[in-house]
Chain A
Amino acid sequence: MTLAITNLHARVGDEATGKALLNGIDLVVKPGEVHAIMGPNGAGKSTLAKVLAGHDAYAVTAGGATLGGADLLALEPHERVHAGLFVGFQYPVEVPGVVNGEFLRLAYNARAKARNQPEVAAKDWAPKLAEYIRQAEAPEDFAGRGLNAGLSGGQRKRNEILQMVVLDPLVAVLDETDSGLDIDAIKAVARGINAWRRADRSVVLITHFQRLLDLVQPDRVHVLVGGRLVESGGPELSARLEREGYGRWGA
């Protein structure tokens, strides 16, 4: 399934007092591809991820996005997930009182139901989840933890990867999943992503660091500054960015 973003403009807030954050993004991610998006803080990277996920703090003012040819932006957030999109957030929120393992079952079943696949009963979930946890290289005790409540920043990122694996998307957008992780955790996350990759699955990695891109090789690297993709290139671009920074785009 191809994710195609065309001339995407978005702002936060209302027309009068709001602020334009995305100013015409064009990006095509084909099945099997790995794209990296890099850029300075405040460039609009997380905004792009949240607009794709359907966060209603942002209004799309022009352009659009399709997933597998269907209008992505016309869907409710949960329908986007059912259509095959997953967005891993830079700052996963805590949801008090919700147990991670039970939540993952609800999420799994919502997706299964949308695909007309059998749902999993509570009693059959534990072994299935254990297998997902193994695949995602997440800590074993994640099933019984809170949904991000009581997890460190790094653990939350690893929980995002676990959610991705459980939800079985075709396009994953991962926003700074590597930030705040030590090198061993980054390696575990990268192994999780690589194990999940397939010819029909694509991933967009939003990152500041070459370290992750050494472990998950991108096909294309894009530079996002001021709500626009100002340059695109092959894997060599990320190494140059790490050396030179974003100064030449005035950032």
Chain B
Amino acid sequence: MISIRNVSKSYGSFRVLADCSTEVARSEVVVVCGPSGSGKSTLIKCVNGLEPFQRGEIVVNGISVGDPKTDLPGLRSHVGMVFQNFELFPHMTITENLTIAQVEVLGRSREEATERGMGLLDRVGLKAHAGKHPGQLSGGQQQRVAIARALAMDPICMLFDEPTSALDPEMINEVLDVMVELAQEGMTMMVVTHEMGFARKVAHRVIFMDHGRIVEDAKKEDFFGTPRSERAQQFLSKILHH
């Protein structure tokens, strides 16, 4: 579904991504972790073309992301993305947040979009908040709306960039629960997170990044058993004993 081949990216002389390669198969859940500044966000944003890259190739569902001829908006419209800071549109109601791209990008009718949006809002347990603005919701609620907004586009895969790291601890689980359910339904997911409980529960593979490199790319069992690289071992012991 997602195939990343020898991708490199630099800001001037600073290398953010160095020769990264990995695959995410259909219905697979891959967790990406690593220290701050290691390039996790950059890598995941390259997958839907939000960040350009200079070398290598990324193919999503048979479409090459880096190809200048690719219709990037078209591709992005069915690759869902969830951000650390939710990024709901503050000037719109929750309903409008859920329907705007369905109507403007996919060309759905307002009724159809509203029906789809409300169904998903119900699914994340927030149907009662349809008429509110994002600022009236808690962080955890906003992130659940953001997930529903992405799902409303009927994505073929979902990208998450630290979806719970801006949340108060007591709100993390309500968001992780939605993501676990999604994973169990067979959604293809690439998730940047340090929530190792989530990784243990639903990930198939774990990728560890350091200084722009994919240092470790292992099956979950192997990663939590005995990570091969010393950096990954250190990192794991640090966040597990935190």
Are A and B physically bound partners? no
Residue numbers of A with Cβ under 8 A of B are none
